[in-house]
Amino acid sequence: MDAFLPSSAVPPLDASNAQSVIAALVAGAQANRSALCRKGSIDAIHPPGELIATGDLHDNPINYRKLVTRAGMTLHEVGLEEPPATRGPSHLTLHEIIHSDRLWQGMDMSYRMLARVAHLKARYPEHVHALLGNHELAQLTGSTVMKDGVKCVQAYNEGLDYVFGDDAQSVRDASDDFIRSMPIALEAHTPAGVFLCAHSLPPAGAMQRFDATILHRALTSDDYAPRIGSAYAMVWGRGYDAEGLEDLVERWGVTMFILGHEKAEEGVLFVPPNAIVLASDHERGTFLPIDLSRPPKPHNARDHVVWLAEVP
């Protein structure tokens, strides 16, 4: 298959049908594991091309559609008419996909967004990069995570039970497998150095037990273990500082980090000397378009950020 064309083997997604959702999640997991860009626990890309780097999504369907359209992709869902893409796709990162603050009768229906992202990955395996976030990891491990007073894992599971009944466990299993297949980061190799897109970075207090080789090997079940696993530390870190960032620069040879997870009320936050935090889940949500052949410098990357509210 031409990497610039969506796979014709992936049928349209019907997010209300258990078998369609399961098929999308299974296909997405297979694409995560078998894509040519997958290198161990990460995806890796090179010029030429464009990267659309994003922050937390948290089941924001309006911003998701804008991002997909801006990346030159089509959604291909049942009952949805849209014009064909007019250009080859950009690379698109997506993370912190589930656990919405828009509940229905106390239930979270963000399985639909997870299925949409899996479906998109299956259609564009070399261009969609669904990165592991702390909410996905919590869903996988059944850990307690709260958002605005809501027990997110419980609300997600109740949504599956309500919509799918006897098929809910099968959807849950497919959801877990897609999450387990997610890369921990995206490395963009550019003439200006390596840009690392990840949901978060390990906090300073976790560095003694953090296995920095995680980027260069396959993930194991121990990596996902709450509080002690290296993948857990990678997606739960906050409060980055220059010393911690420079430590990881030395370990990983990274020029700039593009992250989420931290609160960014204005949609973007620069952390000196070389990290930019994005948020894509609210009305001030943003993304960062990067020409992989001519990327910005860390100190002026903020000047290139686009606010999703300004995108048609």
pTM recorded for the entire structure: 0.95
Q: How far is CA 290 from CA 94, 123, 167, in A?
A: 15, 22, 41
Percent of the chain with pLDDT over 90: 82
Of 274, 205, 218, 276, whose CA–CA distance to 245 is shortest?
274
Of 198, 20, 192, whose CA–CA distance to 122 is shortest?
20
Phi, psi of 295 (to 5 degrees): -75, 160
| Whether pLDDT at 4 is above 80 | no
Segment 140-148 mean pLDDT: 87
The predicted pLDDT at position 1 comes to 43
SS (H, E, C) 204-268: HHHCCCCCHHHHHCCCCHHHHCCCCCHHHHHHHCCCCCHHHHHHHHHHHCEEEEEECCCCCCCCE
Segment 92-96 mean pLDDT: 98
The predicted pLDDT at position 102 comes to 87
Higher pLDDT, 97 or 227: 97
What's the distance, Cα to Cα, between the start and end of the chain in Å?
31
Whether 177 and 27 have beta carbons less than 8 Å apart is answered as: no
Whether 137 and 143 have beta carbons less than 8 Å apart is answered as: yes
Domain boundaries along the sequence of the chain = 18-310
| Tens digit of each residue's pLDDT (9 = 90 or more) over 257-284 | 999 999 899 999 999 999 999 999 999 9
Distance CA 168, CA 163 (A): 8
Residue type, 212: A
Beta carbons within 10 angstroms of residue 292's beta carbon: 20
Candidate CATH numbers 1.10.510.10, 3.40.50.1820, 3.40.630.30, 3.60.21.10; the one for domain 18-310: 3.60.21.10
